[in-house]
Protein backbone atom coordinates (compact mmCIF):
# COMPACT_ATOMS: atom_id res chain seq x y z
CA UNK A 1 0.00 0.00 0.00
CA UNK A 2 1.58 3.21 -1.18
CA UNK A 3 -0.43 5.33 1.20
CA UNK A 4 1.26 3.70 4.21
CA UNK A 5 4.73 4.18 2.77
CA UNK A 6 4.04 7.86 2.30
CA UNK A 7 2.75 8.12 5.86
CA UNK A 8 5.88 6.47 7.24
CA UNK A 9 8.13 8.78 5.24
CA UNK A 10 6.19 11.77 6.52
CA UNK A 11 6.59 10.56 10.08
CA UNK A 12 10.34 10.12 9.66
CA UNK A 13 10.59 13.67 8.32
CA UNK A 14 8.52 15.06 11.18
CA UNK A 15 10.70 13.23 13.72
CA UNK A 16 13.71 14.98 12.20
CA UNK A 17 12.08 18.37 12.58
CA UNK A 18 11.18 17.50 16.17
CA UNK A 19 14.73 16.39 16.90
CA UNK A 20 16.29 19.49 15.32
CA UNK A 21 13.93 21.60 17.37
CA UNK A 22 14.94 20.00 20.64
CA UNK A 23 18.58 21.05 20.15
CA UNK A 24 19.65 24.02 22.23
CA UNK A 25 22.51 26.23 23.51
CA UNK A 26 26.16 26.40 22.52
CA UNK A 27 28.01 26.01 19.23
CA UNK A 28 27.53 23.16 16.73
CA UNK A 29 29.33 19.97 17.77
CA UNK A 30 32.36 18.55 16.02
CA UNK A 31 32.37 14.89 15.17
CA UNK A 32 34.36 12.83 17.70
CA UNK A 33 36.83 10.41 16.09
CA UNK A 34 34.93 7.42 17.56
CA UNK A 35 37.43 4.53 17.62
CA UNK A 36 35.68 2.23 20.06
CA UNK A 37 37.58 -0.83 18.88
CA UNK A 38 41.00 0.88 19.08
CA UNK A 39 42.50 -0.51 22.31
CA UNK A 40 45.54 1.77 22.32
CA UNK A 41 43.29 4.79 22.08
CA UNK A 42 41.00 3.49 24.83
CA UNK A 43 43.96 2.74 27.11
CA UNK A 44 45.39 6.21 26.55
CA UNK A 45 41.94 7.66 27.22
CA UNK A 46 41.74 5.71 30.48
CA UNK A 47 45.15 7.09 31.49
CA UNK A 48 44.12 10.69 30.77
CA UNK A 49 40.83 10.11 32.58
CA UNK A 50 42.52 8.81 35.70
CA UNK A 51 45.14 11.56 35.67
CA UNK A 52 43.02 14.57 34.84
CA UNK A 53 39.35 13.85 35.53
CA UNK A 54 39.23 11.47 38.44
CA UNK A 55 40.64 13.98 40.93
CA UNK A 56 37.30 15.80 40.95
CA UNK A 57 34.84 13.61 39.04
CA UNK A 58 33.86 10.07 39.99
CA UNK A 59 32.83 7.21 37.78
CA UNK A 60 30.78 5.56 40.53
CA UNK A 61 29.30 2.77 38.42
CA UNK A 62 32.62 1.73 36.91
CA UNK A 63 34.92 -0.84 38.48
CA UNK A 64 38.68 -0.55 37.91
CA UNK A 65 38.93 -4.20 36.93
CA UNK A 66 36.47 -3.69 34.07
CA UNK A 67 39.47 -2.05 32.37
CA UNK A 68 40.52 -5.62 31.65
CA UNK A 69 38.17 -5.29 28.68
CA UNK A 70 40.67 -2.77 27.30
CA UNK A 71 43.43 -5.37 27.25
CA UNK A 72 44.97 -4.53 30.64
CA UNK A 73 45.63 -7.03 33.41
CA UNK A 74 45.01 -6.46 37.11
CA UNK A 75 48.68 -5.73 37.82
CA UNK A 76 48.85 -3.13 35.06
CA UNK A 77 45.68 -1.51 36.36
CA UNK A 78 47.08 -1.48 39.90
CA UNK A 79 50.43 -0.05 38.88
CA UNK A 80 49.30 2.61 36.44
CA UNK A 81 45.73 3.63 37.11
CA UNK A 82 44.88 2.99 40.75
CA UNK A 83 45.39 6.27 42.62
CA UNK A 84 42.26 6.68 44.70
CA UNK A 85 41.89 3.15 45.97
CA UNK A 86 43.88 -0.02 46.45
CA UNK A 87 41.55 -2.75 45.24
CA UNK A 88 40.97 -3.38 41.54
CA UNK A 89 37.40 -4.44 42.29
CA UNK A 90 36.58 -0.98 43.65
CA UNK A 91 34.50 1.64 41.93
CA UNK A 92 36.31 4.57 40.33
CA UNK A 93 35.58 7.20 42.96
CA UNK A 94 37.19 10.61 43.16
CA UNK A 95 39.06 11.71 46.25
CA UNK A 96 37.40 15.12 46.37
CA UNK A 97 35.31 16.13 49.37
CA UNK A 98 31.83 17.03 48.10
CA UNK A 99 31.50 19.98 50.49
CA UNK A 100 34.78 21.47 49.31
CA UNK A 101 33.90 20.86 45.66
CA UNK A 102 30.69 22.77 46.15
CA UNK A 103 32.57 25.66 47.73
CA UNK A 104 35.12 25.77 44.91
CA UNK A 105 32.97 25.29 41.83
CA UNK A 106 29.46 26.18 43.01
CA UNK A 107 28.28 22.62 42.37
CA UNK A 108 29.42 19.05 42.87
CA UNK A 109 31.32 17.84 39.82
CA UNK A 110 28.90 15.40 38.13
CA UNK A 111 29.59 11.69 37.92
CA UNK A 112 31.12 10.85 34.55
CA UNK A 113 30.29 7.14 34.15
CA UNK A 114 27.34 7.86 31.90
CA UNK A 115 28.20 11.35 30.66
CA UNK A 116 28.70 10.23 27.06
CA UNK A 117 25.19 8.72 27.06
CA UNK A 118 23.30 11.45 28.89
CA UNK A 119 24.81 14.29 26.88
CA UNK A 120 23.71 12.97 23.49
CA UNK A 121 21.16 15.04 21.65
CA UNK A 122 19.97 16.19 18.27
CA UNK A 123 23.37 17.88 17.65
CA UNK A 124 25.17 14.55 17.77
CA UNK A 125 26.35 11.84 20.14
CA UNK A 126 27.48 12.51 23.68
CA UNK A 127 31.03 11.82 22.48
CA UNK A 128 30.68 14.62 19.90
CA UNK A 129 29.56 16.97 22.64
CA UNK A 130 32.45 16.10 24.95
CA UNK A 131 34.96 16.27 22.09
CA UNK A 132 33.72 19.78 21.28
CA UNK A 133 33.49 20.86 24.91
CA UNK A 134 37.08 19.99 25.77
CA UNK A 135 38.31 21.90 22.69
CA UNK A 136 36.21 25.06 23.20
CA UNK A 137 37.69 26.65 26.31
CA UNK A 138 38.83 30.28 26.36
CA UNK A 139 39.98 32.80 28.96
CA UNK A 140 37.17 34.91 30.39
CA UNK A 141 38.16 37.32 33.18
CA UNK A 142 34.48 37.82 34.12
CA UNK A 143 34.09 34.22 35.32
CA UNK A 144 35.22 33.27 38.84
CA UNK A 145 37.33 30.42 37.48
CA UNK A 146 38.79 32.62 34.73
CA UNK A 147 37.51 30.21 32.05
CA UNK A 148 34.50 30.01 29.80
CA UNK A 149 33.39 27.61 27.07
CA UNK A 150 31.64 28.05 23.75
CA UNK A 151 29.97 24.62 23.83
CA UNK A 152 28.73 25.14 27.41
CA UNK A 153 28.39 28.88 28.06
CA UNK A 154 29.15 29.84 31.69
CA UNK A 155 30.50 26.40 32.51
CA UNK A 156 31.45 25.91 36.18
CA UNK A 157 34.48 23.73 35.39
CA UNK A 158 37.78 25.50 34.65
CA UNK A 159 39.79 24.11 31.70
CA UNK A 160 41.01 20.77 33.07
CA UNK A 161 43.58 20.21 30.31
CA UNK A 162 44.89 23.75 29.89
CA UNK A 163 48.49 22.71 30.50
CA UNK A 164 48.20 20.39 27.53
CA UNK A 165 46.30 22.71 25.22
CA UNK A 166 47.54 26.15 26.28
CA UNK A 167 45.28 29.15 25.99
CA UNK A 168 43.20 29.82 22.91
CA UNK A 169 40.91 32.59 21.80
CA UNK A 170 37.86 32.19 19.53
CA UNK A 171 37.94 34.29 16.36
CA UNK A 172 34.81 36.34 15.76
CA UNK A 173 33.65 38.21 12.71
CA UNK A 174 30.91 40.73 12.08
CA UNK A 175 28.49 39.69 9.40
CA UNK A 176 25.02 40.58 8.28
CA UNK A 177 22.09 38.28 8.99
CA UNK A 178 18.44 39.19 8.29
CA UNK A 179 19.48 42.84 7.97
CA UNK A 180 21.19 42.90 11.37
CA UNK A 181 24.89 43.03 12.13
CA UNK A 182 25.82 40.02 14.24
CA UNK A 183 29.03 39.17 16.05
CA UNK A 184 29.50 35.53 15.13
CA UNK A 185 32.05 32.82 15.90
CA UNK A 186 33.96 31.86 12.77
CA UNK A 187 34.76 28.33 13.91
CA UNK A 188 38.47 29.27 14.05
CA UNK A 189 40.67 29.62 17.10
CA UNK A 190 43.81 31.65 17.75
CA UNK A 191 46.54 30.13 19.94
CA UNK A 192 47.46 32.64 22.67
CA UNK A 193 50.00 30.64 24.69
CA UNK A 194 51.42 27.29 23.71
CA UNK A 195 50.54 24.15 25.67
CA UNK A 196 52.57 21.01 26.27
CA UNK A 197 51.01 19.49 23.14
CA UNK A 198 50.67 20.68 19.59
CA UNK A 199 47.04 21.32 18.52
CA UNK A 200 47.07 18.03 16.56
CA UNK A 201 48.41 16.07 19.54
CA UNK A 202 45.84 17.71 21.76
CA UNK A 203 42.96 16.80 19.48
CA UNK A 204 44.16 13.19 19.42
CA UNK A 205 44.47 13.12 23.21
CA UNK A 206 40.96 14.53 23.67
CA UNK A 207 39.71 12.08 21.05
CA UNK A 208 41.19 9.22 23.10
CA UNK A 209 39.69 10.54 26.33
CA UNK A 210 36.25 10.94 24.77
CA UNK A 211 36.59 7.51 23.24
CA UNK A 212 37.19 6.11 26.71
CA UNK A 213 34.24 8.05 28.15
CA UNK A 214 31.99 6.65 25.46
CA UNK A 215 33.19 3.12 26.11
CA UNK A 216 32.72 3.61 29.87
CA UNK A 217 29.10 4.73 29.32
CA UNK A 218 28.35 1.19 28.19
CA UNK A 219 31.28 -1.23 28.47
CA UNK A 220 29.22 -3.98 26.83
CA UNK A 221 28.66 -2.04 23.61
CA UNK A 222 31.35 -3.63 21.42
CA UNK A 223 30.29 -7.05 22.63
CA UNK A 224 26.65 -6.18 22.00
CA UNK A 225 27.23 -5.37 18.35
CA UNK A 226 29.34 -8.49 17.81
CA UNK A 227 26.64 -10.75 19.29
CA UNK A 228 23.89 -8.87 17.43
CA UNK A 229 25.29 -9.83 14.05
CA UNK A 230 25.06 -13.55 14.91
CA UNK A 231 21.59 -13.19 16.40
CA UNK A 232 20.31 -11.50 13.26
CA UNK A 233 21.92 -14.13 11.03
CA UNK A 234 20.21 -16.85 13.07
CA UNK A 235 16.87 -15.05 12.88
CA UNK A 236 17.23 -14.67 9.15
CA UNK A 237 17.66 -18.42 8.84
CA UNK A 238 14.78 -19.01 11.27
CA UNK A 239 12.49 -16.73 9.27
CA UNK A 240 13.41 -18.44 6.00
CA UNK A 241 12.54 -21.84 7.49
CA UNK A 242 9.31 -20.46 8.97
CA UNK A 243 8.41 -18.93 5.61
CA UNK A 244 8.88 -22.21 3.74
CA UNK A 245 7.09 -24.14 6.51
CA UNK A 246 4.16 -21.76 6.24
CA UNK A 247 4.11 -22.14 2.46
CA UNK A 248 4.17 -25.93 2.80
CA UNK A 249 1.16 -25.92 5.11
CA UNK A 250 -0.85 -23.45 3.05
CA UNK A 251 -0.05 -24.78 -0.40
CA UNK A 252 -3.22 -26.84 -0.69
CA UNK A 253 -5.61 -24.44 1.02
CA UNK A 254 -7.93 -23.40 -1.76
Partner 1 sequence: MAEFKEISPNAPLGAKVTNWFENRFPTAFAEYRKHMSEYYAPKNFNFWYFFGSLAMLVLVIQIVTGIFLVMHYKPDAGPVGGILGAPPIAFASVEYIMRDVPGGWFIRYMHSTGASAFFIVVYLHMFRGLLYGSYRKPRELVWIFGCAIFLALMAEAFMGYLLPWGQMSYWGAQVIVNLFSAIPFIGPDLALLIRGDYVVGDATLNRFFSFHVIAVPLVLIGLIVAHLLALHDVGSNNPDGIEIKKGPKGNRWSPDAPADGIPFHPYYSVHDIMGVGVFLMVFFAVVFFAPEMGGYFLEYNNFVPADPLVTPLHIAPVWYFTPFYSMLRATNGVMVNVLCAIIALGVVLAFLKCRCSMALKVGLAVAGVVAIALLKTFDAKFWGVVVMGGAVIILFFLPWLDRSPARSIRYRPDWHKWLYAVFVVWFLILMVLGIMVPGPIFATPSLAWLTNELVAMIGTLFYFGFFLLMPWWSQQGEPKPVPDRVTFKPH
Chain residues binding partner 1 by CB under 8 A are 3, 7, 10-11, 14-15, 17-19, 21-22, 24, 60-63, 66, 98, 108, 110-111, 113-114, 117-121, 126, 217-220, 224-225, 227-229, 231-232, 235-236, 238-239, 242-243, 245-247, 249-251, 253-254
Shortest distance in whole angstroms from residue 159 CB to partner 1: 23
- In the bound state with partner 1, the residue whose beta carbon lies nearer, of 118 and 145, is 118
- In the bound state with partner 1, the residue whose beta carbon lies nearer, of 198 and 223, is 223
Shortest distance in whole angstroms from residue 163 CB to partner 1: 29
Shortest distance in whole angstroms from residue 205 CB to partner 1: 25
- In the bound state with partner 1, the residue whose beta carbon lies nearer, of 11 and 192, is 11
Phi first, then psi: give them for residue 147, nearest 5 degrees.
Answer: -130, 150
- In the bound state with partner 1, the residue whose beta carbon lies nearer, of 18 and 192, is 18
Amino acid sequence: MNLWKKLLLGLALAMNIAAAHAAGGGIAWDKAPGKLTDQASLQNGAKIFVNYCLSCHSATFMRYNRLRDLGLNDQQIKDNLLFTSDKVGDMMKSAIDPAQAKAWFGANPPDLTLVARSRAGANGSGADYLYTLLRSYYRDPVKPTGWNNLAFPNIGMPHPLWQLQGERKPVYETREEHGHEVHAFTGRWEQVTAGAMTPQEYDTAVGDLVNFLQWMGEPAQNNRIAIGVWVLLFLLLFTLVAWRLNAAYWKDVK
